[in-house]
Structure 1
Amino acid sequence: MKNLVLASVASLALLGACNQGGDSAGQNADEAVNATQDAASGVVGQTSAATMGANSVDGFVTGLATGNLYELEAAKVAADKATDADVKALAAMIDKDHTAAGEKLAAAAPAAAPNVAIPTTLDERRKGLIDNLKAATAADFDKVYLEQQVAAHNETLTLLNGFSDNTDAPALATLARELVPTVTAHRDRAKALLDAMA
C-alpha cells in the first residue's frame, strides 16, 4: 500500500511539474524530477516519522535534529532566493524558531538520551530537498519552498505528536509537546501563503 501511495504521489507531482512550463525542455524535465523527488520525500518522511521517530528515543532525537538542520538551511536559501516579502518573513521566523528548538534539543538530549549523538549534518533525503531549492528558478522558488515547508512541518508534527506521550524520555516528550504549537504555526502560515498563490 505504501508503494502505491508513493507511486501515486510521485506521478501526480510529475504531471503537475510538467504543466508548469519553463524556458526549455531540459529545464522542464529537471523541474519535474525535482518536484517528484520533493513529493516522494514528503511521503517517506511522514512514514519514517510515524514509525521509527515516534517510537524510539534515538529515532526522535535524530529525526528532530535532522529536520531542524534542514529547516535552518532551507531558511537561508529562502532568505537569498525568495521574491515574496511574506515568504521571506516566514523564512526569518522559521530560522529564529528552529534555532531556538535546536538549542532546546541540545540542552535536553544529553541527559535524556546520553547514548544518542545529535546529528550535525543533513541526511541524503534532506540534502536533495536543499539541492532542489537551490535549483528552483526565481519564478518557481517561492512555491517550491512553501510546498517543501508544508511537507516538512507535517513530518515534524507527526514526529512530535507521536513522541509526546513517551515515558522512556519524559524531558524529550515535554519538548515535543512544547514545540507542537510553533511547528503548527509554521505549517499553517506556509499553507496559507501557498493557497494564496493558487
Structure 2
Amino acid sequence: MTRHLLIAGAAVAALSLAACGQKTETKGAATPAEQAATPDANPAATIPTPSNEAAAPDFVSKAAASDMFEIEAAKIAQKRAKNADVKKFAADMIAAHTKTTADLKKAIADAGQAQTLTLPAALPSDLQDKLNDLNKADNFDIAYMDNQVDAHQAALDVMQRYAQDGDVAQIRTFAAATAPMVQQHHDQAKSIRDALK
C-alpha cells in the first residue's frame, strides 16, 4: 500500500513539475472557474441563433424568387436568343423551375406550414433589376448565359446551406433533392457560355 502511495505521489510531483515548466498565455481570457462564476463571459452559455439562411421563411423566399427569376429570364431568352443551345437551355429552365416551384409548395404543405410560409408574389428589386438589364443587353446570348451561371451558383449556395442546416425537415429534404439539379444547370450554363465566347 505504501509503495502504491509513493508511486502515485511521485507521478503527481512529476506532473506538477512539468506543468510548472510550461508557459500558459491567457491573453485576458477567463479561466474555466471564472467563466462558470460569470455565465455572461462564457460563450458556450449563450444559445446560438440560427442564421437567416437556415430559417424556413428566408429560404422559401429566396428559393421561390430564384425560380421566378429563372422562368422570367428564360421567357426573355426564348424571344431574344439567337443560339439554338441557348434557346433549348431557356426552355429547359422554364420546365425545371416550374417543377421546383411545385415541389417547394408541396414540401411546405407536407410540413404543415402552408398558412405561415408563402411564396413571394413578385421578384425582389435586385432580381427585377437584373431582368431589366438582361432585356437591354446587346450581346444577349452571352449576357443571358453569364447571368445563368451566377444565378445558379447563388441558388446552389442557398439550397446546400438549407439542406445542411435548415429548420424544417420536409423543406430541408426538398433542398437536398433540388441541389444536384441546380448544380447540373450551373455546369450546363457554364459550358454553353464558354462555347459562346
Q: Same fold (TM over 0.5)?
A: yes
Per-residue deviation, residues 6-51 of structure 1 (Å, max 9, x unmatched): xxxxxxxxxxxxxxxxxxxxxxxxxxxxxxxxxxxxxxxxxxxxx6
The count of aligned residue pairs is 145
CA RMSD of the aligned region, Å?
1.3
Offset of residue 166 of structure 1: 3.5
How far apart, CA to CA, are the structure 2 residues paired with 1:55 and 1:108?
16
The equivalent of 1:129 in structure 2 is 130
Offset of residue 181 of structure 1: 1.6
Unaligned runs of 5+ in 2: 1-50
2:156 is paired with a residue whose SS is helix
Is 1:64 the counterpart of 2:97 in the alignment? no
How far apart, CA to CA, are the structure 1 residues paired with 2:84 and 2:70?
18
Report the residue type matching 1:123 in the other structure: P
Please, what TM-score do these two structures have when normalized by structure 1?
0.70
Q: Following superposition, which runs of at least 4 residues in structure 1 exceed 6 angstroms of deviation?
A: none
Percent same amino acid at aligned positions? 30
The equivalent of 2:72 in structure 1 is 73
Per-residue deviation, residues 152-191 of structure 1 (Å, max 9, x unmatched): 0000000000000335211001100111121111111110
1:115 is paired with a residue whose SS is coil
Moved more, 112-121 or 181-190: 112-121
Closer, same or farther: CA 167–70 of 1 in aligned 2, 3 Å: closer
The equivalent of 2:192 in structure 1 is 193
Higher helix share: 1
The equivalent of 1:155 in structure 2 is 154
Is 1:93 the counterpart of 2:89 in the alignment? no
Please, what TM-score do these two structures have when normalized by structure 2?
0.70
The equivalent of 2:103 in structure 1 is 104
How far apart, CA to CA, are the structure 1 residues paired with 2:102 and 2:121?
13
Offset of residue 110 of structure 1: 3.6
How far apart, CA to CA, are the structure 1 residues paired with 2:128 and 2:194?
26
Closer, same or farther: CA 167–75 of 1 in aligned 2, 3 Å: closer
The equivalent of 2:141 in structure 1 is 142
